[in-house]
Amino acid sequence: MNRPLVLTCVALSAVMPLTGCGGNKKAATVAQSASPGARHHAPAATRAPSASATVTGTVRVGGYCKATGVVGRTANGGWARCLKKPGDKQARWYSQAPSTTAPRAGEYCSRAGATAKAATGKKLTCTKKAGETRPRWRTK
């Protein structure tokens, strides 16, 4: 067994009875979950984000979900997480992939001189005009 894991288990088993939480059952569960068979690592592209649980089947980004913190596979093979963000009345599935949306003219950009292509097909350039503190995407 891994030495830091053993020390953590020993520390947790000593602290839990003092705080009134758990008992022998939780300490045993932690020790059992560290079995050598549980150390299988999938390639990074297919590995699920860390979560409390993974749902079976496919999930739809934007759809409602019940248990926040769980992750699920989308139909296109990506990952989504069940979250309740400020303003949401109910928890929803949010994509865990990096944003792939094209920039729009007028939005702030990070590096003056950079170029991009808008969703409409127009070429955008990141420029800063006199009196502005931040550069914006502009069409020429």
Say if residue 134 is in the same domain as residue 105: yes
Say if residue 69 is in the same domain as residue 34: no
The pair of three-digit structure tokens given for residue 10, joined into one six-digit string: 């020993």
Q: What is the pLDDT of residue 43?
A: 47
Mapping DSSP to helix (H, G, I), strand (E, B) and coil, where does residue 66 land? coil
Range of 80's domain?
42-99
Q: Could you tell me what percent of the chain has a pLDDT over 90? A: 27
CB 105 within 8 A of CB 89: no
Say if residue 107 is in the same domain as residue 120: yes
Say if residue 34 is in the same domain as residue 49: no
Across 97-113, average pLDDT: 84
Share in percent of the chain as helix, strand, coil (round to 5): 20, 25, 55
Give the Cα separation of 132 and 119 in Å (integer): 25
CB atoms within 10 A of CB 126: 20
Say if residue 9 is in the same domain as residue 46: no
Say if residue 27 is in the same domain as residue 66: no
Say if residue 13 is in the same domain as residue 55: no
* Domain tally, the chain: 3
Residue 135's φ and ψ, nearest 5 degrees, are -75, 155
Q: How does the average pLDDT of the chain come out, rounded?
A: 76
What does the pLDDT look like over 26-73, one tens digit per residue?
A: 444 444 444 444 444 444 445 555 666 888 888 999 999 988 889 999
Q: What is the pLDDT of residue 124?
A: 94
Say if residue 65 is in the same domain as residue 93: yes
The 8-class DSSP code of residue 117 comes to E
